[in-house]
Structure 1
Amino acid sequence: MRTTRCMLMVAQALVVVSALLAAAAAATAAEYVRPPPGRIILTEHTEPAAHPQQVHVSAVGEKHVRVSWVTDDMRAQSVVDYGKASRNYTASATGEHTSYRYFLYSSGKIHHVSIGPLEPSTVYYYRCGKAGKEFSLRTPPAALPIELALVGDLGQTEWTASTLAHASKTGHDMLLVPGDLSYADTQQALWDSFGRFVQRHASRRPWMVTQGNHEVEAPPLPVPAGSPPPFAAYGARWRMPHEESGSPSNLYYSFGAAGGAVHVVMLGSYAPFNASSDQYRWLARDLAAVDRRATPWLVVLLHAPWYNTNAAHQGEGEAMRKAMERLLFQARVDVVFAGHVHAYERFARVYDNEANPCGPVYITIGDGGNREGLAFNFDKNHTLAPLSMTREASFGHGRLRVVNTTSAHWAWHRNDDADSVVRDELWLESLAAKASCRQHADPAVVDWDDEL
């Protein structure tokens, strides 16, 4: 696998136009002037071919972690040695590997190894493929409280670096991404660069991701013979625990956190979602199996927002909302996070375009630092504007701290140069704890005493 400089130069050039547009728009903001998007940071591999690169970890059940990495050496072993003391590895696990071709590009050897059982809230040291440097990770807690960091539409720019640095400054247990990771957009060398770019963060805490439109990478029409399928790179590189949650596809899955107190559902905005689809049937089964007495918190992530007052991507999530929203409402999902729109926006509790104290809080957090810049144009006259509690076109990240079975704290942190500034925060009450929401399925017969 080689970094093709001509491909990367094309990607850098895409920053220029968006930087000029963003600078002009930011200059009109009275409260805060946002600098233009940062340059793309291209991260090369300078170590021997057998040494691991692009290392990241993800949760597999409550007691296991999947370690994923890439080697240029196709003979490298898919094995991880690990233990609770540095350089003292008391356990070893062997996994599997894959690779893929994308027209003229051939990936390196992509390794996936599940390690465990592991103890909760514990630091483990590990080494991949018996080569290269040692890494360390901390496992999530087995009970509340738990802190989830959220970043959407990442890319690999100077602002992405700032976002991830801010997110890592204070401890979090897992990082959730509602789609749009590398912004490779068919330039496969950018997938490799992205993996190396995020390694320092993604190798230390579980990263749980779902796909966005930039992961699709569908071949042009008419489709040439032998073309790679959509999501070829994403599926090979970012394997999530879909089998463990009974999902037939890596594009949507669910997992438990904090000993099952939090159930997180990752939906696929770019997989079929109508009532006859596999995703719809899986979602219905998954939500029906959640016992809210044991699992007081239900969190959903997807890419294209269902509620949005920004001119960018207006209405793109509407078909999915119409197909699936009732499932989420009936399950009393507490909060839904989306990306896609490169700005921050938080809505009141909503169901079917109306305020409803038993509906989810909808939050768009597609402001991780991507090369396309920010979406400045919020429509103050949009029909949903009265339900939009706060909105801002700035880069940043969010933190959901689930404190106990009834209370969680949400905060959105704006990247303000060297500092991370809290610009929005909210205390949430679990809908499982609200008697009115447990007793009534009819959205018209509830008490109006929620976070509106």
Structure 2
Amino acid sequence: LWTEALIDLGDASQDWRQRTSVAQRQLLWLEDELKKANTAEARAQQPWVIVAGHRPVYCSLVRPTCSSEAAALRSALEPLFVRYGVDLYLASHVHAYERTFRTLNGSVCKADSSVDASCGPVSIVNGDSAEPPLQYDDMPARFTVKRHPGQSGYGELILLNSTAIEYRQLDSVTGAVNDQFIMVKSSSNQEPQENFLEAVGWLAFATALVTFTCGFVKWVHSDGLKRRDEALRHLRTEIA
């Protein structure tokens, strides 16, 4: 059976799921929970929707866990993640660490930290501290942002506010931060203002660039004329 629970964590709702079976009843339950978490009223209370499960939907090992098994899981879960705007998927199983870009149907669809509802969620596979630790022998996938072999470590998920969350992967022995990122989203009433400010910023930059370029050309042209006049005066002096 599934371990079925929807946990409210301040600005986030998190679905904890266990076991690999994706029976129709279980998918219906998950969709119902995600649908409730994605309503305007729920998003106003918990803007972030995070799903956690044991198996990864994306990872870069050349073995069934990350190929056929992950593909089967994606075919069932990814449409729900996109439909209901899941922001982050947390998994383990692989005894190492890996973080992906926002990826949909195996292809990167968002390569920055902003939220895009039309893309899949960022995926984090955190199997650090598991035994035996995994050593990567193959190349990262195109969707891989960061990965490292299995070691003693743990993750921290920090809900900064309604528009930003931070994730850190730490070494439990040294305390070193092995990976860190902040995910940012804009509410519908903030986005136009941010886009306007971004446009104004680019316009100011372009204006400054044109002004500098024109001034530089004018300076070079003026300096060239001065050098020409000095050369002519020197030539006249020599001739005289």
User: Taking structure 1 as the reference length, what is the TM-score of the superposition?
Assistant: 0.37
2:75 to 303, 322, 332: 322
| Aligned residues with identical type, % of pairs | 25
Change (3 A) 1:267 1:378: farther
* Alpha-carbon contact 1:257-1:263 (below 8 Å) kept: yes
1:263 aligns with 2:13: yes
* Alpha-carbon contact 1:263-1:295 (below 8 Å) kept: yes
> Partner of 2:126 in structure 1?
365
Q: CA deviation at 1:283?
A: 0.9
1:389 aligns with 2:141: no
User: Taking structure 2 as the reference length, what is the TM-score of the superposition?
Assistant: 0.67
Partner AA of 1:370 in structure 2: A
1:300 aligns with 2:47: no
SS of residue paired to 1:420:
coil
Q: 2:43 & 2:9 partners in 1: Cα distance?
A: 14
Q: Which runs of 5+ in 2 are unaligned?
A: 111-115, 193-240
Change (3 A) 1:285 1:427: same
Partner AA of 2:176 in structure 1: V
1:350 to 103, 106, 109: 103
Q: Deviations over 1:135-165 (max 9, x none)?
A: xxxxxxxxxxxxxxxxxxxxxxxxxxxxxxx
* Larger RCO (CA within 8 A; separation ≥ 6): 1
> Partner of 1:254 in structure 2?
6
Larger radius of gyration: 2
Partner AA of 1:317 in structure 2: A
Q: 2:135 & 2:49 partners in 1: Cα distance?
A: 31
> Partner of 1:413 in structure 2?
170
Q: Deviations over 1:348-383 (max 9, x none)?
A: 11122122232211010011x233x11112521x6x
1:36-435 residue pairs with structure 2 within 5 A? 250-258=2-10, 261-271=11-21, 273-274=22-23, 277-290=24-37, 291-311=42-62, 313-315=65-67, 316-357=69-110, 358=116, 359-367=120-128, 369-371=129-131, 373-380=132-139, 385-395=141-151, 396-415=153-172, 418-430=173-185
Q: 2:191 & 2:15 partners in 1: Cα distance?
A: 24
Partner AA of 1:325 in structure 2: E
Change (3 A) 1:391 1:289: same
RMSD after superposition:
2.2
* Alpha-carbon contact 2:158-2:165 (below 8 Å) kept: yes
Q: Deviations over 1:79-111 (max 9, x none)?
A: xxxxxxxxxxxxxxxxxxxxxxxxxxxxxxxxx
Q: Which runs of 4+ in 1 moved over 3 A?
A: 430-436
Partner AA of 2:48 in structure 1: W
Q: Which runs of 5+ in 1 are unaligned?
A: 1-248, 437-452
Change (3 A) 1:378 1:305: farther
* Alpha-carbon contact 1:311-1:377 (below 8 Å) kept: no
Q: CA deviation at 1:432?
A: 5.8
> Partner of 1:52 in structure 2?
none
Change (3 A) 1:255 1:311: same
Partner AA of 2:127 in structure 1: G
Q: 1:337 & 1:394 partners in 2: Cα distance?
A: 16
- Of Structure 1 and Structure 2, which has the larger fraction of its residues in helix? 2
Partner AA of 2:28 in structure 1: R
Change (3 A) 1:279 1:432: farther
Partner AA of 1:314 in structure 2: C
